[in-house]
Structure 1
C-alpha cells in the first residue's frame, strides 16, 4: 500500500491541531463561565464541517448532589422557539396559504384592534421581525408581578397561561411605535403568530411545527411542551435562579435609576426553579443541544425553506438602541451577529433566557459549523454567546 504524500500528512496534522486548539479554547470558555460568571453548570456541543461533533461541559447539573452535566439533557430553549414559529409561517407562505405581508386583521380580526393597536396595519412580517409596535411583553406588569421576587415566584410558578391569556397580554400596554418604525423585542407578537398558524391551518401549532420542522430534520428529542407539563420526561439539569427583586418590592416602583437598590442582596443561594409552568412562552419548546445543532444549521442555511422565503427570513433590521442582545441585526425569528464581534465571521443564531435557563445556538450561513449551549441559570452575561461564537465558529 502506498503511503500518503508527506504534504497530505502534514495538512492532516495541522488540521487536527487546529481542531484540538478550537476544542481547548471552547472548553476554557465553559470553565470561565462557571468560575467568573457564576453559572452552576454549562454544556456546549459543536458541529464541524465534516459532520463530526464535540461535547464539552463545566460545573454541575445539580448543586446538591454534585452530578455532572451530560449529553442529551432535555432543556427549554426559551426564545429560541421564535425561529420555529417563523419557519412554520414561511413554509405556509411557500405553500400558498398566506403572505407574510398580510395584515393580522385578515386572519385574526379584532385580536390587534384594541389598546391603540390596529390589526389592519400590522403585518405578519412585522410580528416576526419584532417591528409591529407591540410593547415588550416581558415587562408587562401582570407577568412581572407574578415572578419578580422569590415569594411571588414560589406562589405563581405553576400558573398556567392559555392562548387567550397571551393574546390579551400582548396588547395590555400601549403601542411603542408605528408598525415598521423600529425594533422592540416582543413575545406577544409571537403569541399572535402562533394563533395565526392555528387559524390558517386548522391544526395545532404543535402539529404544524412537527410537520414542517421536527420531522424534516429528524429531531428525536424535541417537542412542544404539553399543557400542564412542569418538569421533563427524561434526563435534565436542575435549574437555578437569582433573577429576583427583594421580597415586597413593587415592580411599579423600579426605575432605571433605583433598580440596583431593589434587587436581592448578593450572595443569596440561588432558588431551584426546575419545576415551572412555562406556558407563557409562545412556542414553549424543549430540545437538546444535539437536536438544536440540526435546527440552527437548517435555519442559518435555509435548507428547510425555498429560496424566496429564505431571503425573507434573513432580510434583517437593526436592533440598535433596543436594550436587547447587542451587536445584532434581526431577521424573522432569528438574529445575525456583527462580524466585528465574532472574529470576522458571519454568524446567525437564536437565543433565549428566563428564570433558570439560558440557551443559544449559532451557525455559519452555510450551516456547516454550529454550536449549541445551555446554562442552568439565566443569562448572566451575553459575553458568553460572543465568546463561544469566536472559539467554536471563527477559529
Structure 2
C-alpha cells in the first residue's frame, strides 16, 4: 500500500513530529472526521526494523476501548428484551461472585459496565503482574490462553474496594463478568455476539473481537513496543505507591516488541481489534445514538464521577466509555485503550460532528503523545492523571 498523507492541519502534523522527534515515540498516526471529510496523517515508523511507514486502515489492538463494544453488545441485548442492566450477576450466574467478600446478589450489570461494582483493579492482581510486568515473565507467558473462568477468578482474587454502586473504580474484571453474562443469556460465544449486535450492523468489515486462541491480527498492522516493566528480580507484591519508581527497569533499555501476544486475560475488556476509520464509525454511532435505541443510548451516557479514583482527571464514566472535559471547557465523548506496547484514543464532540482518532505504538509515552495531538486539534489540553 502506498504511503498516504492528507494536506493541511499543520498544528497536528507538528504535534505528531514532536511526539516522534522530541518525545521519542516510535510512531503516531491520526485520523480526523469533520465537516470537511476525513484527514489522515502520520509520523515515525510502523516497524523500526524494516522501516515500514504507517498507512490508513491498519488493524490495531484497541485495549480498553473494547469495553465500549461490550457495553454496546449488552445494551443491544437489553433492547431485544433478553436482559436488563439492573439484573444482578447472581440472576444470570448464580454463585459466580460469592467469594472473597463479593456478593453477586448486590452487583448489577450496570455496576459492571460503569466500573462501580466494587471490583478491584484487575490489572493489579498479583498473578497478572507476575506474568506480564517483568520482561522475562512476559516472554514466558505472552501466549498463555486464559479461559473465561480464569478471567472471572482473577477478577475476584482481591477483596472489594467499596460497596456496589458506592463509587467508581476502574476494573477489567467487571467486563469479564459482563461477557460471561452475554454468553449465558444468548448461548453463543461473546465474540460472535459482538459481531452480531455491533460489528455487522455498523458494517465494520475489519473489526473483530479476538477469539481466545488468537494472538495477532487479520490484516496489516504496526509493530507494538513496550518499555513499562519492573526490574528483573522484583516481586510485584513488594511494589507500593511510594517505591514503584525505584522498582522500574532502566528507561534507557531498548523497547521490547510485544506485537503478538494473547489478550484473552482481558476477556470482555481488552480484546477488540479495529482500524482507526472503523473506530470512528463505531464511536460516532455511540455519540449520536445511531446504533442503540433512545433508552439504551441514555443509559450508556448516564455518567458517574471518576474523581478520587486514581484515574483520568476531568472525566465522567458512562457504560464502557467516558466523557472528557478539556481545559477550554469543550466536552468530548469516546474512549481510550492502552495495552502492552500500544495506545489508542478516539473521541468526538457531543454533537457527533468532529471526531479525532489517535494511535501510538508505544506504552511509555502514550498520554503525552495524546495530549499534544488533542491540543493541536481542539485548542486545549485534555489529559492528566487524578492521583
Whether the TM-score (by the shorter chain) exceeds 0.5 is yes
Residue of structure 2 equivalent to 1:24: 10
Residue of structure 2 equivalent to 1:361: 346
- Partners of 2:212 and 2:167 lie apart in 1 by 34
- Partners of 1:385 and 1:89 lie apart in 2 by 29
Conserved 8 A contact 2:227-2:364: no
1:367-382, aligned counterparts within 5 Å?
A: 367-378=352-363, 380-382=365-367
**DSSP-derived class of the 2:266 partner:** coil
Residue of structure 2 equivalent to 1:202: 187
Conserved 8 A contact 2:19-2:372: no
Count of aligned positions: 373
- Partners of 2:313 and 2:370 lie apart in 1 by 11
| Distance apart, 1:386 and its partner CA | 3.9
**DSSP-derived class of the 1:55 partner:** strand
| Distance apart, 1:169 and its partner CA | 0.6
Show structure 2 runs of 5+ residues with no match: 1-5, 381-387
**DSSP-derived class of the 1:217 partner:** coil
**DSSP-derived class of the 2:201 partner:** helix
| Distance apart, 1:311 and its partner CA | 1.0
Conserved 8 A contact 1:240-1:356: yes
Residue of structure 2 equivalent to 1:221: 206
Structure with the bigger percentage of helix: 1
1:160-309, aligned counterparts within 5 Å?
A: 160-283=145-268, 284-309=271-296
- The normalised TM-score by structure 2 is 0.93
| Distance apart, 1:107 and its partner CA | 0.7
Conserved 8 A contact 2:75-2:296: yes
- Partners of 1:214 and 1:394 lie apart in 2 by 33
Instruction: Say whether residues 1:40 and 2:40 are aligned partners.
Output: no
- 1:273/1:20 Cα in 2 relative to 1: closer, same or farther (>3 Å)? closer
Residue of structure 2 equivalent to 1:13: none
- Partners of 2:297 and 2:74 lie apart in 1 by 12
| Distance apart, 1:205 and its partner CA | 1.3
Conserved 8 A contact 1:362-1:389: no
- Partners of 1:269 and 1:95 lie apart in 2 by 50
**DSSP-derived class of the 1:216 partner:** coil
Instruction: State which structure, 1 or 2, has the greater radius of gyration over its C-alpha atoms.
Output: 1
Conserved 8 A contact 2:86-2:110: yes
Residue of structure 2 equivalent to 1:127: 112
Question: In the alignment, which of 304, 317, 324 is matched to residue 317 of structure 1?
Answer: 304
- The normalised TM-score by structure 1 is 0.91
| Distance apart, 1:37 and its partner CA | 2.9
| Distance apart, 1:20 and its partner CA | 7.0
- Superposition CA RMSD, Å: 1.6
Residue of structure 1 equivalent to 2:385: none
The runs of at least 4 aligned residues of structure 1 exceeding 6 Å deviation read none
Show structure 1 runs of 5+ residues with no match: 1-18
Q: Which moved more, 1:324-333 or 1:132-141?
A: 324-333
Residue of structure 2 equivalent to 1:350: 335
Question: In the alignment, which of 301, 311, 330 is matched to residue 317 of structure 2?
Answer: 330
